[in-house]
Amino acid sequence: MDKKKLKILVVFLCFIFFSITFYFIRKKAYETKLEDGMFSYAIQQGIPKEKIKKTNMKYYPKGQRYEYEIYINNLDNNKYFIFSYVLKESPFKTYLFQEKIDTTSIDSSAYIDGSVVGLEDKMAKPLLDKIQ
């Protein structure tokens, strides 16, 4: 392989490496912004900061959905709040262009002993009582 082809190959590989790195940096930045937005949304919905034991965010590729779980102090891990956010565009476009997070499209629900229920459901009452 002559030097010119080697240089082209090195430049191409560097471009690929930096493109992938840039994508993952943008993805992490968007996920951090989304997590902060969902945490703020949860606080606005009446969950006091001091009652939060831990949080967990998961991404589900099928449906392009993020779920933010909020566990409450003095409750077992079978009862927690779920806040869901569906990406409006493809993940690639969302991460690269840092689409604005629309908090009005966050769905709220609760996980109670193996069932996902709406916050208005009577099964969610013990969870809602704990944050009062």
Residue 115 has pLDDT above 70, yes or no: yes
DSSP state of 83: E
Task: Give the DSSP letter of residue 125.
Answer: H
- Give the DSSP H or E segment for 119: none
Query: pLDDT tens digits, residue range 2-21?
Result: 888 889 999 999 999 999 99
Kindly give the pairing relationship between strand 52-60 and strand 115-117.
unpaired
Give the separation between CA 43 and CA 102, rounded to whole angstroms: 16
**Residue-wise pLDDT tens digits, 28-80:** 999 999 999 999 998 988 888 898 989 999 999 988 999 999 998 888 888 89
